[in-house]
Amino acid sequence: MKHLLSLHDWTQEDIQEALTLAAKLKQEQKAGIPHPLLQGKTLGMIFSKSSTRTRVSFEVGMYQLGGHALFLSSNDIQLGRGETIHDTAKVLSRYLDGIMIRTFRQEDVEELAAQGTIPVINGLTDLLHPCQVLADLLTLQEHLGTLAGKKLAYVGDGNNMAHSLLFGCVKCGMDIAVATPAAYACDADIVKKAMEDAQKTGATITITEDPVEAVQGAHAVYTDTWVSMGQEAEKEEKIKVFSPYQVNEELFSMAKPEAVFLHCLPAYRGLEVTEAVIDGPRSVIFDEAENRLHAQKAVMVMTMGEK
Ligand code: CP
Ligand code: NVA
């Protein structure tokens, strides 16, 4: 059974296959060539948090693949009233061909995959956001040509995006530098696992508190909101701590002159990034958003398609 729970679980070859298939499906979709690779299949999409991109891109992607997607808000299904993940996994496995889940705890996604008998795709947890990073890697490949040997700088919160970027970049042979305030550093276990992955590809990982050190020589600069879903109560405190980590024109100018700017969105202009950078000529944020569709179609075919 193939799941997408974390990019750490996927081999370099799996990621490359996903990027190649995503590029092919993108080209077919643009050329109007039908590709009903999941005809008659149904994906259930469990959401315990808000979403624009993930919800719409999975639903549209499934439609384009000839299948059907069901939106399952955790407010409306019995999971939100205390039915166990175990029972939810067993029941949904009797109806569906795959589940995408966006929730808080990574352990819940792992349990859903362990207890069910169908593929599970992680649509974001507090710890990881692998689908976003596959779309980001596709976007970087389009703009930079190749990934191996290039450098990405992530500046901001050591959150789910930082973690999945660590795994995704090093598995593709990209160097990555992550700059966060000390109190908001990446999870040590994730960094350890990413270091192990990096050894296999020769990529390097730099962990620093200095945003300038991180962006120097970078081909891509990435940031994310300082206040992730579920952290609303910490907003005032975080805005104070993170202000030196804003990606503004001054910081962006210290990356390579041709560097691109990425953000998973939703963005908060004037906080983690200035308007001049996010709306500037080197921002590729809407390509990233579009590539969610193509990358996730590839993931669904790889996990739910005929073997
Ligand atoms: N980037 C991302 O996952 O966006 P949504 O929260 O809108 O799905
Ligand atoms: N770090 C953000 C990403 C949103 C796509 C969050 O978890 O809210």
Alpha-helical (H) ranges within 173-244 are 188-201, 211-215, 235-242
- Ligand nearest, relative to CA of residue 160: 2
Q: Do 59 and 4 form a contact (C-beta atoms < 8 A)?
A: no
- CA 76 to centroid of ligand 2, rounded, Å: 22
112-135 pLDDT, tens per residue? Answer: 999 999 999 999 999 999 999 999
258-272 pLDDT, tens per residue? Answer: 999 999 999 999 999
Q: What is the pTM of this model?
A: 0.98
- Using CB distances shorter than 6 Å, the residues near ligand 1 are 51-54, 124, 132, 264-265
Smallest CA separation from ligand 1 atom 3, residue = 54
Q: Which of 45, 49, 53, 136 to mutate for ligand 1's pocket (most ligand atoms within 8 Å of CB)?
A: 53
Percentage above 90 pLDDT, the chain: 99
Among the listed residues 55, 129, 263, 294, the single catalytic one is 129
17-75 pLDDT, tens per residue? Answer: 999 999 999 999 999 999 999 999 999 999 999 999 999 999 999 999 999 999 999 99
Q: Which of 45, 46, 54 to mutate for ligand 1's pocket (most ligand atoms within 8 Å of CB)?
A: 54
Residue 1 has pLDDT above 90, yes or no: no
- Ligand nearest, relative to CA of residue 265: 1
Task: Give yes or no for a cis peptide into 266 (omega within 30° of 0).
Answer: yes
Among the listed residues 55, 102, 263, 294, the single catalytic one is 102
Residue 307 has pLDDT above 80, yes or no: no
* CA dist 117 → 70, 142, 150, 296 (Å): 18, 36, 39, 20
188-223 pLDDT, tens per residue? Answer: 999 999 999 999 999 999 999 999 999 999 999 999
**Shortest CA distance to 112 belongs to which of 96, 97, 90?**
90
CA 95 to CA 284: how far, in whole Å? Answer: 38
